[in-house]
């Protein structure tokens, strides 16, 4: 399977390289309009039809969005080229988004390499509109507007690619792409700079982030509130509130207005440390500066109260916040339910969930998961399963975490048949548990003598290319055959047979 996929990728990339060496632009003649012909009404109608035609969805873009397999998207790109289709910015953009989301970065670089040889992305609309407008000022204005829109879209694409590189922990590639943007005739913006800064901070490379932040003015950027927020996040992740406050002070000195996010990051930090006096001081400061606290602000303060064991004060703050001009949201209830669960007051948490329903708040999957998690940890998987049914009846769809907690919860109380029932529902919903969950369930089913059921689970594992480690197989053999068998030799024999 692995070798067939590798051949498919290599073939698609070989096709793309042929595309690069023989661009379609040289094969198709350009069609120009003759200005010496009088523009009669039929001619204007034809121009209108042509313009309308250009606004229709681009076939390749529509098709590639429906394709799930990135290899198939690559093949589709080449097939359209073979049919004489001229790929331009929307085509490249749609394909690059698809490839980046699937983390096929080798193909991403192949496409970018082709674009680089062209010199830049091409905007068909700009060239066309420039031809159909008769007045010079109108032509230039429209051309400029379309070109600017195209440049903004290009920048958005590069920002997305930088972010995808960051999520895949390919930080060097993100830096390289940021540096290469001018070679694609794409102006680097502050938004792209902020994206790279965030990738560096989230990847734990704060020293580099701090270094390029210090050089931002030399690079032609004036930091905005987002830039400062990212740097504050970096210092707070290191646990250095003092340095974060220095960045905050620098914002004020540079006349950069702090946002609600700025205040929330500091309020959350001091709240988690139990320094509620500082957190409340920041709350008053943001009000004085005309910034309105939101539900997140109050949730962070509520967490601070809960960490100090002041649940009643946190609950009072949630019910008082509406009088302060901010309506409670689900995350505020989530803070209280989580605190009750941590303190073992699960029945009170269930009552609070019912209370919020009476107040016409519809719980989401996050709130249900909080309750299910604590019920399973307390060995009350049967009750958790009732909550699962309740959320489904209420129209809330479980996610992968919901199913995983339920399977693990049933395994914890040795109800492996219940775990298998939830696992089947999980797989039907196209979610997949962790390897540890599979191992626990198979081992438990074997102990219960449910060999056929255990084999069903093993088959599902094989479909997903998930395999037991040697120690797990050894434990499984001992459970199935008894302590008197030399498990290690049996496992070794089984592996050698396969």
**pLDDT of 167 higher than 60:** yes
Mean pLDDT, rounded, for 128-138: 40
Kind and range of the H or E run holding 253: helix 241-253
Crossing angle of helices 400-412/381-393, nearest 10°? 150
Tell me what the pLDDT averaged over the chain comes to: 78
pLDDT at 55: 46
Q: Which of 126-135, 429-438, 472-481 has the highest mean pLDDT?
A: 429-438
User: Closest Cα partner for 148 from 129, 176, 174?
Assistant: 129
Residue 152: band (very low, low, confident or very high) from pLDDT cuts 50, 70, 90: low
| Of the ranges 182-191, 239-248, 319-328, 425-434, the best mean pLDDT one | 239-248
Q: Which of 4-18, 300-314, 368-382, 440-454 has the lowest mean pLDDT?
A: 4-18
pLDDT value at position 52? Answer: 42
pLDDT at 45 over 60: no
pLDDT by residue (tens digit) across 214-228? 999 999 999 999 999
For the CA atoms of 230, 232, 235, 238, the dihedral, rounded to the nearest 10 degrees, stands at -70
Of 342, 301, 364, 378, which is closest to residue 353 (Cα–Cα)?
364
**Where along the chain do its domains lie?**
8-15+52-184
Query: For the residues 177-196, what does the mean pLDDT come to?
Result: 89
143 falls in which pLDDT band (50, 70, 90)? very low
Q: What share of the chain is helix, strand, coil (3-state, %, to 5)?
A: 75, 0, 25
Judged against a pLDDT cut of 60, whether residue 135 lies above it is answered with no
Greater pLDDT, 484 or 249:
249
pLDDT tens-digit map of 267-296? 999 999 999 999 999 999 998 988 899 999
Is pTM beyond 0.85 here?
no
457 and 441 Cβ atoms separated by less than 8 Å: yes
The H or E element containing residue 163 is helix 136-167
Stretch among 17-26, 167-176, 464-473 having the lowest mean pLDDT: 17-26
Report the alpha-carbon distance of residue 492 to residue 498 in Å, rounded. Answer: 10
Q: What is the reported pLDDT for 119?
A: 52
Interval 198-205 mean pLDDT: 95
Positive/negative CA dihedral, 73, 76, 81, 87:
negative
Question: Can you give the pLDDT at residue 110?
Answer: 79
Q: How many helices (H) and strands (E) does the chain have?
A: 27, 0
pLDDT tens for each residue of 48-89:
444 444 445 566 666 767 666 667 777 777 677 677 676 666
pLDDT of residue 412: 93
Dihedral sign for Cα atoms in the order 489, 492, 496, 497:
positive
Assess contact for 151 and 186: CB atoms under 8 A: yes
Structure token digits, residue 243 = 């340095």
Q: How far apart are CA 30 and CA 39, in angstroms?
A: 21
């Amino acid at each position: 399977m692995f070798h067939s996929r590798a051949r498919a990728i290599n073939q698609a990339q070989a096709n793309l390289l042929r595309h690069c060496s023989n661009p379609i632009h040289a094969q198709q003649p350009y069609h120009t309009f003759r200005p010496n012909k009088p523009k009669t009404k039929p001619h204007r109608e034809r121009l209108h039809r042509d313009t309308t035609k250009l606004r229709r969805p681009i076939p390749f873009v529509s098709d590639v969005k429906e394709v799930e397999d990135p290899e198939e998207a690559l093949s589709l790109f080449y097939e359209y080229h073979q049919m004489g289709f001229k790929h331009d910015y929307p085509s490249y953009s749609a394909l690059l988004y698809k490839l980046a989301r699937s983390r096929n970065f080798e193909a991403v670089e192949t496409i970018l390499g082709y674009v680089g040889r062209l010199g830049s992305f091409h905007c068909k609309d700009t060239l066309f509109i420039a031809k159909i407008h008769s007045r010079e000022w109108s032509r230039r204005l429209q051309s400029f507007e379309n070109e600017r829109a195209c440049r903004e879209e290009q920048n958005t694409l590069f920002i997305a690619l930088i972010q995808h590189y960051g999520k895949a922990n390919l930080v060097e590639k993100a830096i390289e792409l940021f540096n290469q943007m001018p070679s694609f005739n794409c102006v680097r913006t502050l938004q792209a700079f902020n994206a790279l800064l965030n990738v560096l901070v989230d990847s734990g490379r704060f020293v580099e982030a701090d270094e390029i932040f210090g050089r931002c003015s030399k690079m032609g950027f004036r930091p905005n509130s987002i830039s400062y927020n990212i740097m504050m996040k970096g210092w707070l992740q290191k646990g250095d509130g003092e340095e974060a406050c220095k960045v905050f002070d620098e914002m004020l000195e540079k006349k950069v207005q702090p946002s609600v996010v700025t205040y929330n990051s500091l309020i959350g930090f001091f709240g988690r440390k139990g320094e509620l006096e500082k957190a409340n001081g920041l709350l008053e400061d943001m009000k004085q500066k005309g910034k309105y606290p939101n539900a997140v602000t109050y949730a962070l303060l509520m967490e601070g109260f809960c960490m100090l064991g002041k649940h009643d004060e946190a609950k009072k703050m949630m019910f008082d916040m509406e009088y302060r001009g901010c309506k409670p949201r689900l995350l505020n209830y989530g803070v209280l339910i989580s605190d009750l669960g941590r303190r073992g007051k699960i029945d009170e948490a269930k009552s609070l969930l019912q209370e919020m329903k009476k107040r016409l708040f519809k719980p989401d999957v996050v709130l249900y998961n909080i309750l299910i998690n604590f019920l399973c940890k307390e060995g009350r998987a049967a009750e958790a399963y009732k909550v699962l049914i309740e959320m489904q009846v209420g129209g809330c769809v479980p996610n992968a975490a919901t199913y995983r907690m339920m399977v693990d919860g049933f395994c914890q109380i040795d109800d492996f048949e219940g775990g298998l029932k939830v696992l089947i529902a999980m797989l039907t919903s196209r979610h997949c548990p962790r390897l540890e969950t599979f191992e626990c369930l198979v081992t438990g089913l074997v102990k219960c003598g449910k060999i056929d059921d255990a084999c069903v689970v093993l088959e599902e594992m094989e479909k997903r290319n998930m395999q037991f480690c040697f120690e797990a197989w050894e434990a499984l053999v001992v459970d199935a055959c008894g302590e008197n068998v030399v498990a290690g030799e049996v496992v070794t024999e089984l592996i050698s047979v396969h």
